[in-house]
Amino acid sequence: MKLIHLTDTHLVAPKERLYGLNPAVRLEAAVADIRAHHADAVLAIITGDLTHWGEEVAYAQLRSCLARLPMPWVPMVGNHDRRAACLEMLTGAPRDANGFVQGWRDTPQGRCLFLDTLDEGSDAGKLCDRRLAWLEETLAATPREMPLLLFMHHPPLAVGIHQMDRIALAESAHFARVIEPFRARIRHLFFGHVHRPICGSWRGIPFSSLRGTNHQVWFDLNVNAEHLTSHEPPAYGVVLIDEESVVVHAHDYMDRSPRRPFAVAGLDERAYAMGAF
């Protein structure tokens, strides 16, 4: 089974730029690449910061970009989003009984759970009691034989980049307690927010994150480092899942560096490798 993970698209009003880049143009390039190479994916998930300012025009722009995806897609909210505008403009967004942008969807490799960690007015992540109660009920109601895949915007752990760790998920310990009885069935945790390719494990749960499709967060582990955004290349994730493994590829879809075969029949391999690229 193949999934597409997109994150931090940060759309703005049409023709506006964000940190010197046009978010819609870069998202359109991602969608075109996905159409060309991964039309067989069963689902695409966008883990929040769909827009930068939470404006309705930006959600409309996102909707028109993503409408060209050949598979169903699930938009999630991040700290830059506005819940009401997201739900108003994106009718396919998940929604729980309390109006949070949360939900789940079953796939051939298990149940995907989408969490709403938005705390409007703050950049940090929040899972309030009502959202955690929904999560607990949903996990308990999932058939025991079903594996679980979790998606959220804010990481529940510190990744070592001080300025991002300050605005990670606040209720990490509470969240950990809720998922603990189901931990063995959680095959992977996907998040956004950090605008960087990071993978590892948290409390035994494998996780991965990705660069966004617009601007990035510069890598610096110094606690006194200035918080910098960068034009490192955008990426999207291609996730391959079967009974044995979860494989996450981060694809720099706008990379235009030269490529050529490793070897050419009839040419001396050494001379070819040492020749001009």
- Which residues would be at the binding site for Fe ion (CB under 5 A)? 8, 49
| CB-nearer residue toward Fe ion: 6 or 179 | 6
Amino acid at 232: E
SS3 annotation, 96-137: CCCCCCCEEEEECCEEEEECCCCCCCCCCECCCHHHHHHHHH
Element spanning 44, H or E: strand 43-46
Q: How far is the CB of 195 from Fe ion (least distance, A)?
A: 6
Name residues whose C-beta falls within 8 Å of residue 116's C-beta, 6 or more positions apart in sequence: 76, 77, 83, 96, 100, 101, 102, 131
| CB-nearer residue toward Fe ion: 110 or 125 | 125
| CB-nearer residue toward Fe ion: 104 or 114 | 114
**Angstrom distance (rounded) from CA 61 to CA 252:** 22
CB contact at 8 A, 202 and 157: yes
User: Which tokens belong to 119?
Assistant: 């705390």
| CB-nearer residue toward Fe ion: 49 or 171 | 49
What's the sign of the alpha-carbon dihedral 95, 100, 101, 107? negative
| CB-nearer residue toward Fe ion: 8 or 119 | 8
Which residue's Cβ has the minimum distance to Fe ion?
49
Judged by DSSP in three states, 26 sits in helix
CB contact at 8 A, 10 and 214: yes
Q: How far is the CB of 117 from Fe ion (least distance, A)?
A: 12
Strand partners, 198: 209
| CB-nearer residue toward Fe ion: 8 or 96 | 8
Q: Which of 83, 89, 9 is nearest to 52 (CA)?
A: 9
